Structure 1
Amino acid sequence: MEIKLKYGIANLLFGMKTNDVEQCLGKPDKKTTDDDKNSIYIYTNLKLKLTFYIDEELRFGYFATTNPSVTIFNVSVISKPISLVMKELENHKITKWETSEDENYVYYFNESNWITLQTEFDEVVRVEIGAVFNEKEDEFDWKYL
């Protein structure tokens, strides 16, 4: 599954509604909500969790994955050393990262692409991507309307 920064993952585009996603992936294995009442779809076999924002008419705006087949710029990232992933992203002009730590995990966050790489033992174990804001920075830059 190819991650397309600022756009989504595979054939899913940020801004899709739940029925659009279900047409692409089928019914989720589990539906739940988060503390903000956003709708969460979990696709177990894809190791993919999708978030639909309640305040945005349930548009797809965020995902997290641990799927070992996920790629960014056609390069695998899960289970790869963070140094190699960073080098590849640097080749695509993604160089500014904020880091934070939590027990065994180190998180690398790039705001302009709203991507977080979660690492454990210096390997990427999880990727999270969110829809970005438009130039006004007060509304989402939906890719699917």
Structure 2
Amino acid sequence: MKINPKHGIDKLLFGMKLADVSAVYGKPDKEYKDEDDNLIALYNEQKFRLTFYQEEDLKLGYIIASDPGLELTGIKMMGRKALDVQNELRDKGFQKWTKEGYDTYENWFNEDHWTVLQTEFDVVVKFEMGAIINDKDEFDWKFKG
């Protein structure tokens, strides 16, 4: 499954609404609202957790994915050592990574691409990606539907 930096993953594009996503992947396996009243949709087969922002007319603004076949610039990440993945991604334009530590896991954040490599026991277990904010301080929605 291909990650398209700053755009989305596979057929997902930032700015889609749940109806657009459902037309591609079917009905989500689970839906709920988070503490900010954003709509969360889970797709078990694709291993997606999608956040549709309440304040942005319920447009897709954040993706968390853990499919073992995820590829970013041709590099598979899941189950691999975080530093190995980061070193390979540096050659592809993902230069700066900031580490945030938690209980049993760490997040490695790349602000230029608004991506996160989440690791547990020093191995990548999740990939997170958010919609980019442009120079006008607005979301740069990629879906034009």
TM-score for both structures, normalised by structure 1: 0.95
Are 2:141 and 1:142 aligned? yes
Cα RMSD (Å): 0.9
Q: Aligned residue for 2:76?
A: 76
After superposition, give the CA deviation of every residue in 1:93-121 in whole Å (9 maximum; x if it has no partner): 21111111111211101111111111112
Deviation at 1:123, TM superposition (A): 0.9
1:118 aligned counterpart, secondary structure: strand
Distance (whole Å) between structure 2 residues aligned to residue 113 and residue 42 of structure 1: 23
- Matched-pair identity in %: 43
1:62 aligns with 2:37: no
Q: Partner residue of 2:31?
A: 31
- Give the secondary structure class of the aligned counterpart of 2:112: helix
How many Å separate the matches in 2 of 1:104 and 1:41? 25
Q: Alpha-carbon deviation of 1:133?
A: 0.4
Which AA in structure 2 matches 1:134? N
Residue in 1 that maps onto 2:115 = 115
Q: For residues 93 and 113 of structure 2, what CA distance do their matches in structure 1 show?
A: 11
Partner of 1:10: 10
Q: Which runs of 5+ in 1 are unaligned?
A: none
Counterparts of 1:45-56 in structure 2, within 5 Å, are: 45-56=45-56
SS at match of 2:31: strand
Give the TM-score taking structure 2 as reference length.
Answer: 0.95
Gaps of 5+ in 2: none
- Using the alignment, how far apart are the partners of 2:95 and 2:23 within structure 1? 36
Moved over 2 A (4+): none
Matched residue of 1:51: which SS? strand
**Which residue does 1:42 correspond to in 2?**
42
Q: Aligned partners of 2:71, 2:35: CA distance in 1, in Å?
A: 30
